[in-house]
Every structure is written in C-alpha cells, then in structure tokens.
Structure 1
Amino acid sequence: MSKAKSLADLFQRPSLDFLMGAHDALSAQIAQDCGFPGVWVSGLGLSASSGLRDSNELSWTQVMERTELVADRVSVPALVDLDTGYGDFNNVRLVMRRLQRADVGGGCIEDKLFPKTNSFIGAGQQLADPHEFGGRIKAAKDTVGDEVFLVARCEALVAGRSMTEATDRCGGYAEAGADAILIHSKMTSPDEIVSFMASWDGRVPVVIVPTKYSKVPADVFERAGISVAIWANQTLRAAIRSMEKLCVALREQRTMLHLEGEIADLSQVFDLTNNAELELAKELYASHPAGSSLKALADDGGPAGNHLVGAGPTSA
C-alpha cells in the first residue's frame, strides 16, 4: 500500500487519531517507534532546526531534501507542511511532483501569501484570494491525483475573519479537490473548532493543530467529528528544553558524573540509525568470496579490479 493510501485510510477511520510532528528523520523515527501512525513534517520544525525563521527562509528544495530523508527513514506516511506552496499554481505543481516521486504520503498547503508568517506571530496575517488559492489546490490535485494526499489549510480564523468566511473557504477548497481540510485556530479554548465543526457539512475529513489549546481532552475533538489532530511542534520544543538543561548543568558541573543517566545511551542512537542492518550487510557483501572467473583474473597477475577497469592508460 502506498503511503498516500495509508494516510487517506487514517483520515477515514471512525475514531480520532494523531500525527506527531517531526523536524528531522531521527524525530520521525522516534515517533514511529512510539506507535504514531504517521508524522507531520513541520515547517516550523525544519526551519528552527536549521537556525532559520518560519518565514520561508528555508527554500522549497531544502524542505524537500529534508522531507525525503524522513520518507527514507520511516515506513509510516508523512504529511508535509508545504506552507503556501512556495508561490503560485506552477510552483505548487513542481512541489507536488517531488512529493509524488518520494512516496512521502501527503502535503498540506495553506491559504496565505508567500512569504508566509507563522500563525502565532503578529496579527497581520495576509490571506490569499480564495479563488486563486482554489486554483493552487486544483493544480496540485490535477498533477498528482491520488498519489499524494492533499490537505488544504484554512487560516481564516487565525486572521480574525468570520466563521462564515472560514466555512465558505473550506467548502471551496474541498470542491477544488482537497482530500481534507485543516482548520486552524490560535484560541486557547476549542470553541472556534467546535463551532466550525457544527457548521461543516462533512464532505471531507477535518484535521486540527491544537498547539494553543493543547490541554483540551481528546474526546472533545472526537465528539466534534475531528478525524486527525497534529502535535506539530512538541518534539522540537521538548528537544530544545532538554538540550538547554544539559548544557547549563554541564557548563556548571564540568563533568557528566551525575548527568549520564539523563541522556540516551549511544546504543540507542545506533539502534535508531539501524547500525545492526549495516553489520549484517557487511557479512553478506563486504567479504563475499570471488566467483571463479574473478578469482582466475586475480591469479593471472594482480587485483581482479585492475582487469575489470583496465590496468592503465594505453598509447594511441
């Protein structure tokens, strides 16, 4: 089964499930090992872990390179935060083709203008014209069909627009071909989300990112009809806090005597990067006995490799 189909099936389950945010291949591997059925490749996470702001300072090709590392590392599907799609409909087509080739799973495009501003910074969120954004969604879907699961992210509530506008925008995005809708909110209560779901006709599944209302019990979302919730940046924030704590303590104590038990063993690092597979591969390939033909070449005067590639330059 393709990762896109796995992601589509996840969104169609009768009960709420979660995607865990990943900012690199290692955090994606940890999320998979802990049982999450998929990961969210966070634009904020990719940017911050690269020392950049979440304002499209990381290019789309850099995002794709890091995303492909995630896709190569884990077997679960990834939903990739594609910001605005990095331009107009044509940029979106290029990005979607790259996702398609990598068999990532899905992509999420938001209805803001390029370059984007993080949803939780400032009040001046500039939204795209809904018809123009609908064209981006249609271009994406026409380009990859069902080979990439497509989520349209609506920022109307974040930008202070009305619930009616949010519902209308999401309806238009679904008509344009979105497989699911992400409705975003920066309130600390779930009221906006619950209100949206009460007016949503359910034509496609809905996903949320409860960063600001993270303390709300999951059953509230489930009763409202939410299909998937994304813990978008918690692994990044946990890593920052843990690294700061270690650095401060080690700077003060100048020894790992009382700190070694607070960090992962090197063996866990090797397990996460699957070093055991490399050792097995070495046994299979690195010292494989030469076949009779290669052995005869080697015995005939030097390393077999020289005979295969030529012993040296010849005169013209």
Structure 2
Amino acid sequence: MLYSQTPAHEKRRLFRERLGSGELLRFPGAFNPLSATLIERKGFDGVYISGAVLSADLGLPDIGLTTLTEVAQRAAQIARVTELPAIVDADTGFGEPMNVARTVQTLEDAGLAGAHIEDQVNPKRCGHLDGKEVVDEHTALRRIRAAVDARRDADFLIMARTDIRAIDGLDAAVDRARALVDAGADAVFPEAMRDLSEFERVASALDVPVLANMTEFGKSDLFTVDQLRDAGVRMVIWPVSLLRMAMGAAGRALDTLVDEGALGSRLGEMQHRADLYDLIDYQGYDRFDAGIFDVEIPR
C-alpha cells in the first residue's frame, strides 16, 4: 500500500550488489508510476526513467527543454512506488559543473538509484538523431567529476553517457569512455552503437559495467538479452518502448471511437478493472480505511 517499503539507500546498496555480480540487469522504461508498478510485477530488475519520455509526457521534444525540477519531481513519483532501483536520464546535468552537483544531490533526495550524464552540447538532441554535437573531453570529464564529488551516498550510481560514436567513430568512443571512467564514472552508456561487436569492443575495454540502449527506430539493431549478455553488456534499457506501445494502442482506440462510436470491439485489448485494482492494491487501501473507522475510542 502507498509507497515502497525499501528505503532509497537500501535500494541503491542492493542494486550495486547485483550489478557487481556480473549478471545482466533489465530496466524497461516507465512512463508513469503505474507502469513502474507493472514492471516490478513482471519480474524485471529495475526501472528506467527516460528523458525522452519525460519530455513527451509534457508534449515537448527531447531537446533539453525540461528542467531539473520537472525531471526530479516525476522521477520521484515513479521511484517511490516500486521496490526496484530506478535510474534516471539527467541529460547534460542541467548546466555547468555546479549545476551537475546540484542535480546529483536532488536526484539522491528524490530516491533514485542512479543517473546518467551525457557529453552532448546544449541544446541536446535525442541520441539516435543526426546533427548531434559533443563537448570537448575536458568539459565532459568536469561534469562527471562534479557528479562524483557531489554525491553523499557512495552507492548512488554515476553513469557517464557518451554520444561521440556517431560523430567521431568507435575508437573515439572507446577513448572517451576510458577517460570518463578515470574521472570516476561507475558505469558507461555508449550511445548509438551499430552492432554487437561495437558493444563488445567497449565492454572489453572497460572495467566497469556497460549499458545498452535498445530503443526502437534508432541507430542500433534490437538485440536480445542473451546476445547483449554474450557481448559483455551488464545493463539494458528499453527507454520508450512502453510509451510507444501505449500510445499506439491509444491511437487505435480513438480511431475505433471515430469509426464505430463505441469501444466494445476493443474490450479484449484493455487492462481489466480487476487487474488495475490488483496492481494498485485497492484491497489494501480498503482494509486500512476500514481498520481506521472500526477503531473504538474508549471513554
């Protein structure tokens, strides 16, 4: 009932423990708190909170328009409903190194298990679009050092994302990833890898976990968990998949309303009321409420 029973610091500790075991951890992207609850129910290892999804939720493109306040507030709402660790997209850290430091502490306070900070210039673009630019290495490293220095919980994961592969090639991506690790990054997110051999190359060059982004309609093919595990990847995200599925279904439902004037033909595709009530523990709230009102105050 209500929110997670596991404190944020304990979620972080357990997450780092599992990450250190070498197994591959699966993080579907939640587009709201309810979908995070479903991700946990289905047995996944964690919840990912995508900057592209948060932007889309506000009706905005993913070009750095969201603020730290908006991201932290929505991420907190998602993280607090699940026992799973939640990782959030912190874009470029929302400003200069001091802003990056504030971002990390704000996300710690919001209950997140970690965040990734990228090396794009502002205004940033979606990692799988053309026309991206990255900052120089000195600036990229300052962002990560500021994040590492600012965190108060050593288990809060600082992940460095690099977008340099699409601009200067794989060798440059490997070199920058190594430098980011030397600056203190706990994990690396190499964006827009072309094939499994590129993931394998990055993973073999580093002694920290590597994350794979399996976003649809992007630069990377959609590899399976087993393929990524064999390539040395230790975390995989599907950042926008659930939102895309939900919006696709919503569009089809609206078309049916236009064409048929009712949704009777779509009932089999809907989450049943009973399943929703089970997911949000409606009975738990009812029992709590009944217990409060059944109490007799002695005279």
TM-score by length of 1: 0.85
- Please tell me the residue identity of whatever aligns with 1:203: D
What are the ranges of 5 or more consecutive residues in structure 1 without an aligned counterpart? Answer: 293-316
Are the counterparts in 1 of residues 33 and 81 from structure 2 also a CA contact under 8 Å? Answer: yes
Report matched runs for 1:8-157 at 5 Å.
Answer: 8-121=16-129, 123-144=130-151, 145-157=153-165
Q: Pick from 194, 206, 211: which aligns with 1:207? A: 211
Question: In 2 relative to 1, CA 72–217 (structure 1 residues): closer, same or farther, beyond 3 Å?
Answer: closer
1: distance between equivalents of 2:196 and 2:231?
10
Are the counterparts in 1 of residues 101 and 147 from structure 2 also a CA contact under 8 Å? Answer: yes
Are the counterparts in 2 of residues 13 and 227 from structure 1 also a CA contact under 8 Å? Answer: no
Counterpart for residue 175 of structure 2: 168
Deviations 1:17-74 (A, max 9, x none): 3111112111111111111110110111111122111112221101111001011111
- Please tell me the residue identity of whatever aligns with 1:210: M
Deviation at 1:81, TM superposition (A): 0.6
SS where residue 235 of structure 1 aligns?
helix
Deviations 1:123-179 (A, max 9, x none): 221111222221111111111141411110011112x21322211211111111111
2: distance between equivalents of 1:215 and 1:92?
31
Report the RMSD for the aligned CA atoms in angstroms.
Answer: 1.8
When structure 1 is superposed on structure 2, of 32-41 and 1-10 the one drifting more is: 1-10
What are the ranges of 5 or more consecutive residues in structure 2 without an aligned counterpart? Answer: 1-8
SS where residue 64 of structure 1 aligns?
helix
Counterpart for residue 6 of structure 2: none
Counting matched residue pairs gives 287
SS where residue 259 of structure 1 aligns?
helix
Counterpart for residue 258 of structure 1: 265
SS where residue 146 of structure 1 aligns?
coil
Are the counterparts in 1 of residues 25 and 46 from structure 2 also a CA contact under 8 Å? Answer: no
SS where residue 262 of structure 2 aligns?
coil
Deviations 1:79-119 (A, max 9, x none): 10111111111111111111212332111111112221111
Counterpart for residue 186 of structure 2: 179
2: distance between equivalents of 1:214 and 1:266?
36
Deviation at 1:214, TM superposition (A): 4.4
- Please tell me the residue identity of whatever aligns with 1:63: V
Are the counterparts in 1 of residues 128 and 192 from structure 2 also a CA contact under 8 Å? Answer: no
Are the counterparts in 1 of residues 200 and 233 from structure 2 also a CA contact under 8 Å? Answer: no
2: distance between equivalents of 1:72 and 1:263?
26
1: distance between equivalents of 2:254 and 2:17?
43
When structure 1 is superposed on structure 2, of 269-278 and 100-109 the one drifting more is: 269-278
Counterpart for residue 268 of structure 1: 275
- Please tell me the residue identity of whatever aligns with 1:176: A
Rg larger for: 1
SS where residue 141 of structure 1 aligns?
helix
